[in-house]
Amino acid sequence: MKNIILFVFVVLTTISCEKELDIEPQGSLVEGVIEFNEEWVNQQLISAYAILDGNPGYFWAPASNWALGDVASDDFHKGSSIDDQPQLNDVERFSSGTTNIYLSRKWESLFEGISRTNQTIESIAIAVENGTPEEDLVVLGAEARFLRAHYHMDAKKIWNNIPFVNEGLAATPPNDSDVWPQIVEDLIYATKNLPKTQEEAGRATSWVAKAYLAKAYMFQNNHIDARPVLDNIINDGPFQLVTVYHDNFNGEKDNNSESVFAVQNSVNDGGDGFINGNRGNRLNHPYASDAPGGGCCGFFQPSQNLVNAFKTDSNGLPLLDTFNDSDLTSDQGITSDNPFTPYAGNVDPRLDWTVGRRGIEYLGWGEMPGSRWIRDQSNGGPYVGKKHEVLKSQEGTISAAGAPQYNAINTPLIRYSDVLLWRAEIYAQDGQLTEAMNLVNRIRARAANPDGFVKNEDGTPAANYVINEYTSFPNIEYAIKAVRFERRLELASEGHRFFDLVRWGIASQVLNKYIDEESSKRVYLTGASFTQNKNEYYPIPLDAINSSEGALQQNSGY
């Protein structure tokens, strides 16, 4: 089964690009007419899964966290034109206020997900009271607690000071205590009570819960507890790297061996055509009618800094310290009807699966033509995103017929390469340099597979792809730098970068240097700055504070 997210209990709002349309309730169910049993609990659980895609927050609350995790980093610009979605300009400039719609919608979406998990847990208790054997509901309850942990963890990364909302609460609890222990408690319960496999794709398993538990420990810098969990996943788990990097972003190869947990997207599935079709990324297509997405909307453009990071030296290794000393050649300021020669130097092949750049083949759509695909090159730069786009051969099948902005490419939340790189981080910091290097090299070896290179029509590589494995990590400082750099290359555009910089404690250092350098290319960044001990976390939405009746306090500095 491709997608378990097929049923939602309550429609809160229907949202389009143009407006919001409030839907009046069409009726309600009361406890007296509900048969609380395993079937009902499972339906409620599916409703809790359904909110994984960020809706009803629509493109303001994407599951991929492209807005808050990538646009706020050194990897991506908002893109499009300066006056479209202006509140996203504030995210990129680290000046978001308490009414920013990208924050308010994300908060609403995550806490709606939490509410649905708690309703599921409450229904389990009622079903048991009504005679359903408790053992029949254990797995459903574990799935609900896993999802509750997921939604709280996402909120924790974004706002830090959040309430933990348990089942049965009548009012919003305060946000004055650390919720990591409660997140970990839910995840440990899930690891012990979920099965190793599930029949339906997209449901949590004990292995998925273990990966989330490891992630929770990594975000607390708790390497002691993370080590055995990661080792168990790597040594005994079911995951492995796929041989071709782009298979992780090919809708025909969703739920492959590398996918630990992903939002299940689908289109042309007999439902509303595109309602489950990756709506969180619907803005992020090239701005041209002959490109994927059909001309909407030009957002989410890679930075020159990110593109430069994919350069390699004569040994096929990253330029860890000097990658941004010179720019990889772009067609900035060159119209599509004028000649342009793509960069001929060495690059990591993952560049051209992550970034659309002029003169390089684009998923069967031909060579990316440059400025003609860019809504406003002077604003967003010369590049477009690529990981969330369909192959030309998949148009109308993996993309929605009649609505090409929506597609069935799953949204990866954790990939196995993510797990390997967490373990490499710990090895590096522990001084186990060979072990750290070996894990990084597993990922680089996959990237170096020539079967996975972007190809021209004649089958030749589309660029000068030169990538090799490390032969040594000479010291701890180098190892840490190399592992962190590999995370950037491997996971770019998957919503992790900003949160990684924060958990490493280097966000201010990296992002202010980035602004100083990139603002010469993107003038709207002039005057922007990242304020340490403030901008690591976003302001809590004013609506949430006002509706909490004094329970929620604002984050420092806002």
Tell how many helices (H) and how many strands (E) occur in the chain: 16, 10
User: What does the pLDDT read at residue 1?
Assistant: 34
Cis (ω within 30 of 0) for the bond into 297?
A: yes
CB 462 within 8 A of CB 352: yes
Give the single-character DSSP code of 298. -
| Residue 44 included in any domain | yes
| Residue 497 included in any domain | no
User: What does the pLDDT read at residue 31?
Assistant: 52
Segments in the chain below pLDDT 50: 1-29
User: What does the pLDDT read at residue 272?
Assistant: 66
CATH number for the domain spanning 179: value is 1.25.40.390
Overall domain count for the chain: 1
- Name beta bridge partners: 14: 21
Backbone angles phi, psi at 425, to 5 degrees: -55, -45
Question: CA 541 → CA 58, 104, 166, 530, distances in Å?
Answer: 17, 5, 21, 20
Amino acid in position 213: L
| Residue 550 included in any domain | yes
The 3-class SS string of 424-478 reads: HHHHHHCCCHHHHHHHHHHHHHHHCCHHHCCECCCCCECCCECCCCCCCCCCHHH
| Residue 374 included in any domain | no
User: What does the pLDDT read at residue 511?
Assistant: 98
User: What does the pLDDT read at residue 58?
Assistant: 78
How far is C-alpha 317 from the geometric centre of its chain's CA atoms? 26
CB 285 within 8 A of CB 389: yes
DSSP 310-333: TBB-TTS-B-TTTTTSSPPP--TT
| Residue 324 included in any domain | no
- Name beta bridge partners: 457: none
Supply the mean pLDDT for the chain: 93
CA distance 183 to 110: 14
Q: How many of the other CB atoms lie within 10 Å of CB of 249?
A: 21
Quick check: helix, strand or coil at residue 236? helix
What is the residue whose two structure tokens read 């981080």?
425
CB 434 within 8 A of CB 482: no
| Residue 48 included in any domain | yes
| Residue 538 included in any domain | yes
Range of the domain at 540: 1-194+502-558
CA distance 95 to 262: 31
Question: CA 440 → CA 58, 123, 256, distances in Å?
Answer: 36, 45, 21
Quick check: helix, strand or coil at residue 49? helix
| Residue 468 included in any domain | no
- Name beta bridge partners: 302: 76
User: What does the pLDDT read at residue 8?
Assistant: 35
User: Of 532, 535, 536, 538, nearest to 554 (Cα)?
Assistant: 538
User: What does the pLDDT read at residue 270?
Assistant: 81
CA distance 161 to 173: 12
